[in-house]
Amino acid sequence: MKNEFARNIADFLRDYWKILSIVCGIGSASLIVAKITQQDLDLKQVSLTPKTLDSLVSPNYPIDFLEKKAWPPKPFEPETLGLEFFIFRKAPEYKNLDAITKDYPKAKAYIALVQKAIEENKEIFPLDAVLVLGKIWAESRFERFAVSPVGAAGPSQLMPGTAQGYGLRVYYPEYLKKAEIKNREAILLYKKAISLFTSKNFELAKETYLNYEKAKREADSLFRFYKKDLLSKVMNKPDSIIAKIDERFIIEKAVPVGVNYYALMFKKFKGDARMAISAYNCGPGPVLSASGIPYIQETVLYQNDIFNFWKKYSKLCAREQKNPTEQKKEQYFMFLR
C-alpha cells in the first residue's frame, strides 16, 4: 500500500516536472521527486521554485487534484506564452458582432448588454467586446442556467461570494458553505500529504492522503446536490420568481457584474489578457503567485478557449455586414466568372 501510494504521488510530481521544465524555464530550490522501481524507492533531488509547487494546487480554486496533465496539447501557442500582441491597450471597434450568432444563436441575448457594460466600464479598462463574449462562451456556452461543479452559476459563472459582494441575491444554503469549507480542507490535506511524502514520512502521508480523498468526496457530493437543488428552483421559471431566488440567472444583472470584474482584472494586470483572463477563472492570487498563467489545467485550457474564440470572431466581426441584396449580387457575379 505504501509503495502504491508513493508511486501515485511520484507519477503526479514527475508529470508536472516534465511539463514545467519544458514550458517555463525553472529556477533554483529543491523538491524531492521519487523515482519508482519495482522493488524500492530511489529518491533524488531536482530543481524547482517554491512558488511553482504552490501554484499547482491553488487555495483559491478547487480543482481535480488527481489530474496529471497540467498543460494543453499545444503549449507553445502565442496566447499561452503571452506574446506582446496579446496585451490589449485599446478596445477595437467591431462592425458586425452579430457574426457570432451564426454559430451561436443564443449569443444574440448578450451582445447589446455586453456593449452597454463595456461602455459603462471603459474608465476602468477599455475591453474588447469579442473577448468579453468569448469569456461568456467559455464560462457557460451562452447557457443562462449553467451551474459549475463548484457552485458558480449563470452565464457569467459567478461564485456565490463574488455575486453577493456585488449585491446580487444568491441562493446560498448552509450546506453549500459546508461544501466550500470541506473543499478548502481537502486542498490543505493534499498539500500536507505532498509535504509529508517529500519528507519521507510515508505512513503519515498515506493517512493524510486518504483523509484528503474523504474530504474531497464529501465536498463533491454537496456540490452535486447544490446544482440539482438550485436548478429545480429556477429552471424554466419566470424572471420574477428567479430574481427572488438567485439573480445570477438574470442576464441583465449577471452580465454587467461579469464585465465589471473582467475590467478590474485587466486593470490589475495592466492589459495583459492571458493574466487577466486566468485571474477571472482562478482568482488573482494564483496568477500573482505564478507570475503568469497558473499551472492548473482548467485555467490554461479556459484562457486558450477564449483566445481561440477571439482569434476566429474578431476577424469576422471586424467585417461590415452585407445586406441580402449585395450578397446575392456578389454570388451572381461569382457565378458568371
Per-position b or e across 104-143, b if 16+ CB within 10 A of its CB = bebbeebbebbbebbeebeebbbbbbbbbbbbbbbbbebe
Does 230 score more than 90 pLDDT?
yes
| pLDDT given at position 7 | 61
User: Please, what is the average pLDDT of the chain?
Assistant: 78
Query: Greater confidence, 308 or 321?
Result: 308
Percent of the chain with pLDDT over 70: 68
- What was the pLDDT predicted at 45? 29
Binning pLDDT at 50, 70 and 90, where does residue 4 land?
low
**Which pLDDT tens digit goes with each residue over 122-156?**
999 999 999 999 999 999 999 999 999 999 999 99
Is residue 63 predicted with pLDDT exceeding 60?
no
- With a cut of 50, say whether residue 55 has pLDDT above it: no
> What digits encode the pLDDT tens for the residues 117-126?
999 999 999 9
pLDDT at 47 over 50: no
CB contact at 8 A, 72 and 301: yes
Tens digit of each residue's pLDDT (9 = 90 or more) over 11-46 = 555 544 444 443 343 332 223 233 222 233 332 322
Whole-structure pTM value: 0.70
Across 50-59, 90-99, 181-190, 326-335, the highest mean pLDDT is recorded for 181-190
Mean pLDDT of 276-289: 92
Phi, psi of 145 (to 5 degrees): -100, 35
Q: How confident is the model at residue 87 (pLDDT cuts 50, 70, 90)?
A: low
Q: Is the pLDDT of residue 316 over 80?
A: yes
Can you give the pLDDT at residue 291? 85
